[in-house]
Amino acid sequence: MIDYAKKILLGFLPIILCISCSNGHPTAQTDSDTEGFIKKLNPQHQFKVHGCAINYNGTDLYMNSTVEPWIKALGKNYRKVDSTDGANLTNLYIYDDIGVRLVERKNDKQIDSLRFRLERPEHDIKKETDAVIEEELKKPDTGQVRSIFKDAIDVDGVLVGAYPMHDEIRSKFHSKTRVSYNFTAVCNQNQKGEEFGIELSTSFNDPEVIDHMFFYNYLDSMTEEQKKELGRRTDENGREICGEYFDVKTMKIVPSYCTPEQLGEEKNKK
């Protein structure tokens, strides 16, 4: 009778052991802290988002301000580079020691974005090799940040950095695409700023690791006509280009060629 009971127990043992791997995922994998990542704020450069304010080491900053308060808070140890970001002419204030890049729009002198350079995952969806990145960083006027932003920032009580995506972040950020997550920072009562967006992109691998993070200003100072003028050009073969778009398959920005209708409208206006 005892031997029979042992056989019954051994028969159910594999089922009992497999309860922890239901849905094909061990329960330990649902918590990113168990995967070798220690989540903590950057001790020297603490960014904390509360409402529509970005607090840097005790100073509240706003995305709808000019660049001067940011430089006063972040310091004067930056490289200034002229650039074009989308349809806007910009100044880049690159803090290589911190690992961030502040983008200022030239035409209205407002902040366009604040970008953090994060640690690159082992399996990255981007096509650049480490050698290509290193060559770019050697250029004296490179628009890229030369150092990595360490650890994390605080977004409304959630630590966000180069960590695997997990439920705490997914509950706060909505998914824009399969590798992009967005959060809108809305002003609290009596805050003097404007709401702004935070975007995360990920490696699209397992684990899905956050590889890029930036704040961006919702306010766009350029009219649709100005954008069209900047996007209007011809390629090397003389084909008319009316703009550009992001191709998900190649993960690149590619030209959008003018349709006969668009060319006809331009001709009629002239």
Q: 152 and 160 in contact (C-beta within 8 Å)?
A: yes
Confidence tier at 183 by pLDDT (50, 70, 90): very high
Least confident among 47-56, 118-127, 230-239: 118-127
Confidence tier at 88 by pLDDT (50, 70, 90): low
Query: Is residue 202's pLDDT more than 70?
Result: yes
What DSSP line would sit under 18-45, residue for residue? Answer: GGGGGGG--GGGG-GGGGT----B-SSS
Confidence tier at 155 by pLDDT (50, 70, 90): very high
Q: How far is CA 56 from CA 71, 75, 240, in A?
A: 11, 11, 46
What average pLDDT score do residues 231-253 get?
A: 71
Beta bridge partners of 110: none
CB within 8 Å of 198: residues ≥ 6 apart: 49, 155, 173, 182, 183, 184, 185, 213, 214, 215, 216
pLDDT tens per residue across span 118-135? 987 765 556 566 777 778
Distance (Å, whole) CA 221 – CA 195: 16
What average pLDDT score do residues 22-51 get?
A: 66
Confidence tier at 247 by pLDDT (50, 70, 90): low
* Residue-level pLDDT at 261: 79
Distance (Å, whole) CA 258 – CA 253: 16
Beta bridge partners of 196: 185, 217
Distance (Å, whole) CA 33 – CA 207: 12
Question: By CB neighbour count within 10 A (0-12 exposed, 13-18 middle, 19+ buried), where does 267 fall?
Answer: exposed
Q: Which of 12-16, 109-113, 218-222 has the highest mean pLDDT?
A: 109-113
Of 142, 83, 90, the residue nearest 117 (C-alpha): 142
Share of the chain above pLDDT 70, in %: 71
In single-letter form, the type of residue at position 34 comes to T
Of 42, 97, 91, the residue nearest 67 (C-alpha): 91
Query: Is residue 177's pLDDT more than 80?
Result: no
Query: Is residue 55's pLDDT more than 70?
Result: yes
pLDDT tens per residue across span 16-31? 333 333 333 323 333 4
Q: Choose between 39 and 206: higher pLDDT.
A: 39
Strands (E), 51-110: 53-56, 59-61, 79-85, 88-95, 100-105
In 10 A of CB 50, how many CB atoms?
Answer: 15
Q: What is the mean pLDDT of the chain?
A: 78
Q: Choose between 35 and 165: higher pLDDT.
A: 165
Distance (Å, whole) CA 135 – CA 131: 6
